[in-house]
Chain A
């Protein structure tokens, strides 16, 4: 096997010339710059999709625990639908099928479509965690809330959810790390994210090992960063008096 050639990252993406100080001039960019922008796309897709997933997933997870059977059905159907279709197929549905059925969505950029695809896909998993978190609470908690005269939404807001969300932080951490990994599937609809960069740069430069190593490293760094952020959040919102808390 040939030895590594890291100079590939300092090459101009247009003519393959090695640029001094690794930066292109006059609008040209080097592979390093391209990779950094790809990293930005990966993180943007992942973070925005996570926001969508948390909002929708929490809502659906809550619906699955309420007494009303029809609402339960909506939550369950949502979860099953988005859990049993491969992410790549869901991305194709958003990209090819939905704009052709709903003409008004044709101008929407593919970045937004991918954010929703990844967000809804992940929302099914988050709904599962949120539901499990709520159901792990003793029944007396919700009875106590209702007995005090709180309405059902108030019981959720002030009694159940503050506990449930803190309980589900560890599984949410792994979902947040998963969403960064899963954002790689966006390559299939030509989002200029890390995996897309890896495939194209590999083809153009034939230095696949170096390119893949760098990209894999960035995925590692991103996942590690998410892990630390979530650990910090987890630490700050520990439920006092439980096994994990300091007090």
Chain B
């Protein structure tokens, strides 16, 4: 065993290299979560609409993205967006777009299960009191679906936060990159990777504990 030396990891180093990356990882997670849930809910509604011209493209979108490795999706977008808009795009912005589009496929499967978990009688009741499709969905079905699926949506968000580390492939400056740069500067890669693992673990483990508590709470009310 060689001696590990963490003494170089002072607050100055952490705030100088790591915090910037942490903020980007959180920003990326939050934007992709909100955007992904909105887009995913629309996709889920399309798939459950029963209209073929809506079902087929939504199913194609979801199934395609779910069968490609995230790293490849990140590379694809980083390659294609500049080709399509005709000018280069920063790795950070490219990552935000990629994750929103990619996570929508996963959130949509969760929302689809959530919508299907709402009893049919709820929809009939909505129609019976004179609501149209949009009102029934918006006021009756989606709030319940969202509530039922909240723990699963949040668990997916924890996975999303872990996956943000994959922006490594295009060199965006995220939490992991922050640690890596700090480790390179002080020639202490072993300690920084170890510390990075601890930080990720603490964040993800505490979040999943919170989700578990929330799950119990929701389960009692139902």
Q: Which of A137-192 contact B (CB under 8 A)?
A: 177, 180-185, 187-188
Tell yes or no: A35 within 8 A of B by CB.
Answer: no
User: A80-B205, A199-B169, A223-B67 given as contacts; is B72 within 8 A of A89 (CB)?
Assistant: no
Inside 8 A of B142's CB, which chain A residues have their CB? none
Inside 8 A of A209's CB, which chain B residues have their CB? 79-80, 83
* Pairwise interchain contact B2-A184, C-beta atoms closer than 8 A: no
Bound together, the chains give a CA A195 to CA B158 distance in angstroms of 24
* Pairwise interchain contact A101-B2, C-beta atoms closer than 8 A: yes
Tell yes or no: A112 within 8 A of B by CB.
Answer: no
B187-201 CB mask vs A (1 if < 8 Å, else 0) is 001100110110011
* Pairwise interchain contact B197-A195, C-beta atoms closer than 8 A: no
Tell yes or no: B43 within 8 A of A by CB.
Answer: no
Task: Report the minimal beta-carbon distance from B74 to chain A, rounded to whole angstroms.
Answer: 10
> How many residues of chain A have a CB within 8 Å of chain B?
40
* Pairwise interchain contact B79-A184, C-beta atoms closer than 8 A: no
* Pairwise interchain contact A85-B200, C-beta atoms closer than 8 A: yes
Task: Report the minimal beta-carbon distance from A131 to chain B, rounded to whole angstroms.
Answer: 15
* Pairwise interchain contact A89-B79, C-beta atoms closer than 8 A: no
From B69, B79, B168, B190, name the one whose CB has the most chain A CB atoms within 10 angstroms: B69
* Pairwise interchain contact B68-A87, C-beta atoms closer than 8 A: no
Which of A4-12, A61-69, A213-221, A236-244 contacts the other chain? Answer: A213-221
Which of B51-59, B129-137, B159-167 contacts the other chain? Answer: B159-167
* Pairwise interchain contact B1-A101, C-beta atoms closer than 8 A: yes
User: A212-B72, A223-B67 given as contacts; is B79 within 8 A of A86 (CB)?
Assistant: no
Bound together, the chains give a CA A98 to CA B123 distance in angstroms of 56
Inside 8 A of A216's CB, which chain B residues have their CB? 68, 72, 76
Tell yes or no: B204 within 8 A of A by CB.
Answer: yes
* Pairwise interchain contact A188-B190, C-beta atoms closer than 8 A: no
Task: Report the minimal beta-carbon distance from A72 to chain B, rounded to whole angstroms.
Answer: 16
* Pairwise interchain contact B189-A96, C-beta atoms closer than 8 A: yes
Helix, strand, loop or mixed for chain B's interface? Answer: helix
A201-244 CB mask vs B (1 if < 8 Å, else 0) is 01000001100100110011001000000000000000000000
Bound together, the chains give a CA A103 to CA B1 distance in angstroms of 7
* Pairwise interchain contact B200-A86, C-beta atoms closer than 8 A: yes
User: A85-B200, A219-B68 given as contacts; is B194 within 8 A of A97 (CB)?
Assistant: yes
Bound together, the chains give a CA A173 to CA B2 distance in angstroms of 42
* Pairwise interchain contact A89-B190, C-beta atoms closer than 8 A: no
User: A97-B190, A185-B166 given as contacts; is B72 within 8 A of A84 (CB)?
Assistant: no
Inside 8 A of A97's CB, which chain B residues have their CB? 190, 193-194
CB closest residue in chain B, given A186:
B71
CB closest residue in chain B, given A94:
B193
Contact sample, A vs B, 14 pairs, CB 8 Å cutoff: A85-B162, A85-B204, A86-B163, A97-B190, A101-B1, A184-B69, A185-B166, A187-B71, A195-B71, A195-B169, A198-B72, A216-B72, A220-B68, A223-B67
